[in-house]
Every structure is written in C-alpha cells, then in structure tokens.
Amino acid sequence: MRVKHAAMLALVLAACGDDDKPHPRQPLVQITAGSPFPADCNGAPQVGTNYRAAEVEPFVAYDPNDPMHLVGVWQQDRWSNGGSNGLGAGATFDGGATWTKTFPRFSNCSGGDATHGGNYERTSDPWVTIANDGTVYFISISFDQTNLGARNSVLVVESKDGGKTFSDPTALIADDNADVFNDKESITADTLDGRHVYAVWDRLTGQLTPRQPIGSGPTWMARATDGVWEPARIIYDPGTDNQTLANIVVVHPDGTLVDVFFQIDMISSTGSPAFVAAVRSEDHGDTWSPVIKIADIVGARTQDSAGVAVRSGGLPTVTVDNDSGAIYVAWEDGVFTQGAVDAIAMSTSIDGGKTWSAPAQVNQSKDHDAFTPGLAAANGVLTLTYYDLRANDDSDGSEFLASAWLAQSRDGGKTWTESALSAPFNLKQALFGGVYFIGDYQGLAAAVANNAVQPFFALTGDSSSDPTDIFTPLPAQR
C-alpha cells in the first residue's frame, strides 16, 4: 500500500471558504493499484473500451459495533459504455490505516460461473452496509453487454468475517429480457431493529423503444428478515413514462424507513422534468406512503473549456442524524444560478421525512461548479464531501483540475467549516467513453461511537496505465 502524490500530504484548511489559511491535514492512503483481472476475462467479446486499473464509484460503511472496522467498495476496470470488469471490496480493522482487498463473484472476471452464480460479463453500482451482528452485505447490478444486455440482475453477497471473504451471490431479481434493466441499487441494514436489511432499486421497462411513452421505472425492494431474503416487489410506481432513480433507504431513530430518490417524468422525451422525492414506511417496509416531493431539479452541466462533460450523476445522497432525528438529502443542482453553475443543494426534514425545507446551497466556493456530494451525520455533526473546480484554469486545454473537499456543520447546515481532502487533480486522466467519470457517487461514513468520519473517494492517477484510484485519509488522532 502506498501514498500517491506527495502534494496531497500537505493539504489546506479553508475555514468557511477562506482559502488563505494553511493548516496541515492527515495524508491519504491509496486503497487500489493496478488490475487483478486478466485481459478479456468477460466471457464473450465486448464492444467498447476497457480502462484497466480504472477504479471509480466508491462507497463505504462503518460497523455499528466497531468504529475501527469499515468496508469500502468500488468498480474495478471501468468500461467506456457502462459497467466494469468486477467490483472490489476493502476491509479495514484499524480505522482506515490498512486495508485487505477482495473481489467477490459478481462477474466472470471475478470468478463468477454458472455453478456459483455471478456469471455476468460486467458489473456496476457497488454499495455496502454492515448489520448489527457484523455481517457485511455487498450489492451489485450485474449484466451482460452482448445480446443487448438482456441478462441483468441485482446480486448480493455476504461476509461473516468482516469483509475478508464473501459468499457466493444471491440474486434478488434476475431478468433475461433486453426490454428490462435493473439499475442503481442500494442496500441498508436496519441497525435499530436488527432483523432487517433493505435493498432498493429501479427496474426500467421499455428499453427497446426508449422514445415511445410506454416504459416505466418503479422502485423495487427486497427485504431480508433474520438473514432470509423475501421475494422482490414494487413499493412505489410513478406511472407510465416516468421512473425513479438512485433509491436509498435510511432508518429514522423512531424506526420509520425513508426511501429517497430522483423521479424523472416523461422519460421518452428530451428535457424530462425531474425532482427529488421520498416515500415512507412505518412498518419495516410492509406498506409505503404516497410520494412526497422534496424539490424540483434544475439541470446544469459541469464541463471543460472544450465542452466535454463531467458525468457526475447528480444523484442524491441522504443521511439521518441519530441525535436530532434530522434527515438530510443533498444533490447536484443548477437551481441557484438558473442552470449556469452546478452546486450542491441540501434539504432537511425534522419530522421523519413528512415535510422538507427549501433547498439551500451548501458548497462553499459558490462561483465554481461543484459535483458528486456525499453526506453522513452522527451525534449532531453533519459532514459533506464533494468535488469542485475552484482550482481549475483550463485556458490552454492541457489540464482540467478538480479538488475534493470536506465540510462540517454543527448547527444543522446553517454554517460550515471546510477543509481540503486532496490537492488539485487532473480530470483529463479520467476521460472514459467521451466523458469525465470518477463515479455517480462517492463514499462517506460517520461513526456514532467515536464521531469519526471516513471519506472514501476517487482521484485521478499519474498515467494512462493507472488512470484513477480510490483513496481515504489516514485516521485522525483520536
């Protein structure tokens, strides 16, 4: 394990947006390096370009009973036209200083086969959660690129040793129809009840005729009770020609489940209207409320001087504070500048998700594009991570610089203290399939036991042979 980019060892603290006050920060630990997979391991000839050693789209979870134990996950070897060769997992038992890596059988490249499951050409959308008994649940979207991607599924693996080894995959849903695709799943252990784990995703139909108003994308859920997965079912249907996207469940301190997502209407049209929304359940997912609208979304487009876009997803991130019960959701939005500049918007609910505040801009350098937020809360402290372009000077087109940032609030998001997570890095190293891509989301977790927070994020590498890697800060002094 090595630390990359010496400049990252001397980071800058910017209190409330003041960039002029230097302050030392802990160095970064590099989690990934190179590819563990042989070339052409997918099981069938693939269309597209594979970027070996490109690790993107990380996520991370704390063990609710051990703040020194975390598991982080990521995409390994990203493809230009979607998905990756496999999904990686890193487990740490010393608070983030050292990590043990493994690659569960979500795909052919990582050992999936017809006997053990996971025999898919590609996999994507890694997400992880840890239950009260220490079981690690790691979930994926796995699919074939050939035959129009007809075979696709939501797979979950489990670890009983903290993330060092994983079970064979269990399919929560599996389709063999090119007109249907399961997308953007997440998984949440109910650490209050202890019996339940919830997996949610959107299931898209009408994929063969995307410009006809006949498709849909309802929210599906599969629930595990005492370790046994129940059949997947629809919990919210936005209707024909509408879809949900990026469903994420959080558990309120009173036991209420709140599923937050994007809803996109008129999906067969261009310029489809979208909004952030939620549904609630007060009976562990048996029944769900009607949809609750949080805020409309105004699109913006982060891009370089040549018009090449950053695919940052703009997907929501959501967290609940165990101390106050406040639920926070943040997303990427152009609403504050009528679509001119991407910003990080945040809305808050103090009544268990029934009503929500108007969006507030929470990124600190407000005149520069900001994207891909992460949120985590514990014991009254709210933490936000994101990337922005304040360091960029792309006048000659040679570099497209972004930086990673962490901000914290102790008053529910009214005021923030900000610090740099990385030195500026060149997004041109992450040009995959005609767009810049380091993930539709990033990882951030907060530990109730000791108030620690763990960012888990992607940065670009030194060369085309090592385009992106996953990093985390060394554990702070506690």
Summarised one tens digit per residue, pLDDT across range 277-312 is: 999 999 999 999 999 999 999 988 899 999 999 999
- Which domain covers residue 435, as residue numbers? 1-28+297-446
Number of domains the chain contains: 1
Q: Is 366 left (phi over 0), alpha (psi -120 to 50) or beta?
A: alpha
Residue 436 lies in a domain: yes
**pLDDT value at residue 102:** 98
Residue 3 belongs to some domain of the structure: yes
pLDDT value for 464 = 79
Q: Which pLDDT belongs to residue 22? A: 34
Phi and psi, residue 154, nearest 5°: -105, 120
Q: Is residue 44 part of a domain?
A: no
Which pTM value belongs to this model? 0.94
Query: Has residue 372 been placed in a domain?
Result: yes
* Three-state secondary-structure class, residue 300: coil
Residue 455 lies in a domain: no
Three-state secondary structure call for residue 33: coil
Q: Give dist(CA 210, CA 178) in Å, integer.
A: 12
Per-residue b or e along 3-42, where b marks 16 or more CB atoms closer than 10 Å to that residue's CB:
ebbeebeebbbbeeeeeeeeeebebbbbbbbebbbeeebb
Residue 243 CB contacts under 8 Å (≥ 6 apart), including other chains: 202, 204, 215, 216, 217, 218, 263, 264, 267
Q: Which residues of the chain have pLDDT under 70?
A: 1-26, 476-478
pLDDT at 11: 29
Tell me if 141 is assigned to some domain.
no
- Asked if residue 428 is part of any domain, the answer here is yes
Instruction: Tell which residue, 380, 386, 368, has the closest CA to residue 330.
Output: 386
Residue 18 pLDDT: 37
pLDDT given at position 476: 58
- Residue 160 falls within a domain, yes or no? no
d(CA 99, CA 180): 37
d(CA 47, CA 272): 29
The confidence score (pLDDT) of residue 308 equals: 95
